[in-house]
Structure 1
Amino acid sequence: MQRIILEVDDTVGKAYQGFSKETKQQFNNTVSLMVKKALNDATFADYSKLLDDVGNEAIKNGLTPEILEALLADND
């Protein structure tokens, strides 16, 4: 196992410091699995390009910020 350092906001850092040893291990395992999944899914550049492509296609099909806001409000 390799140790890395992650920067988090103060709230997360303080909460982590208060975890028990077992909870810290569970948290570490969860973060490790999330990073593995992200690495396996796609690179950030690929993901970013996919998001850009989807956004451009939506705009091309007439989606405006106002329509998007209305659609999102309907889901609340």
Structure 2
Amino acid sequence: METITIKVDQEVAKAYRESDSKKQEKISVIIKLFLQPEFANKSLSDVMAEIADKAKKRGLTPEILEDILNDEE
């Protein structure tokens, strides 16, 4: 893994620093997905739609995703 720097406003930086490691890891996964070569030349909404399509095809429903994102364990 490599560390990079991304400019964000103070509120976002503070929220990230104060979030737990699981949430930080989830954010890292989202950034990784967004910057993958297959998505590099697409808009954020196109990337999100494509990721949602792939998730749905794999059986990930909005309810399951919400459970995963809200998992505090």
TM-score range, shorter chain: 0.3 to 0.5
Q: Which structure is higher in helix share?
A: 1
Query: TM-score with structure 2 length normalisation?
Result: 0.48
Instruction: From the CA coordinates, give the structure whose radius of gyration is larger.
Output: 1
Query: TM-score with structure 1 length normalisation?
Result: 0.46
